[in-house]
Amino acid sequence: MSLPRPRALVTGPTAGIGRSFAHQLAEQGHDLVLVARDRARLESEAKELRSAYGVDVEVLAADLTDRDDLATVEARLADPDRPVDLLVNNAGFGLKRRFLDNSVDEEQAMLDVLVTAVMRLSHAALGPMSERGRGGVINVSSVAAFLPRGSYSAAKAYVNSFSEWAAREYAPRGVTVTCLCPGFTRTEFHERMEVGRGSAPDFMWLDADDLVATALKDHAKGKVFSVPGAQYKVVTAAARLVPSGILQRFQSLGRK
């Protein structure tokens, strides 16, 4: 008898980094559970994945800022009859304006997706994975986590810290947790924030497919952090050495 295919749940899989995760995991033989708000886009993506790779694809329309919708995704992760072998916490968005220029509800929604959803979905997944003695979680963070750049950076710093702790905590139980920290990437993310390609030099922009391939290789090797691109390895290394007060003053000058 052939073994069942591994199953991965990916949040935010209809564009950018999340879509690349879905396609590369399907190509590697994973069945998928796709989670996003837009059911029509999910169904279209699922149809393409089934046709291209011959894998099983479930669609779960959910708004991760809605606690009831989030609970539905948690329940799917915890279902013992349909185990999820890999959770990819990819869903996210950013706010272009500075903290006090956003409404508190906008800030809360971002926090709900970037922090609360990551925590709750990880909690739902790590229990069954630990009991089975195998599994993995990839949390998509950002190079911004290493820099003092407002509430988005603060949220991603939580993801980094949480992922690093979880990696050490659950490795003895057979679960691999990796924190992916991309920099500027050619996706809809920056387009939705109305951030043009001219906001950073060409050499700073990453390709989503390349960085996901790197992340999956790093995860397979058991790495805690995956920082694709030599340029961003330099940035994160420097950020660890330079005092945050100096970094913040430098960035403030750049905004004037």
Which residues are catalytic, by number?
A: 152
Asked if 183 and 207 count as a contact pair (C-beta separation under 8 A), the reply is no
Residue type, 131: E
Helices (H), the chain: 16-27, 39-53, 67-78, 104-111, 117-132, 150-170, 188-192, 208-220, 230-241, 244-254
Residue whose C-alpha is closest to residue 92's, from 147, 48, 35: 35
Asked if 115 and 139 count as a contact pair (C-beta separation under 8 A), the reply is no
CA max distance for the chain: 65
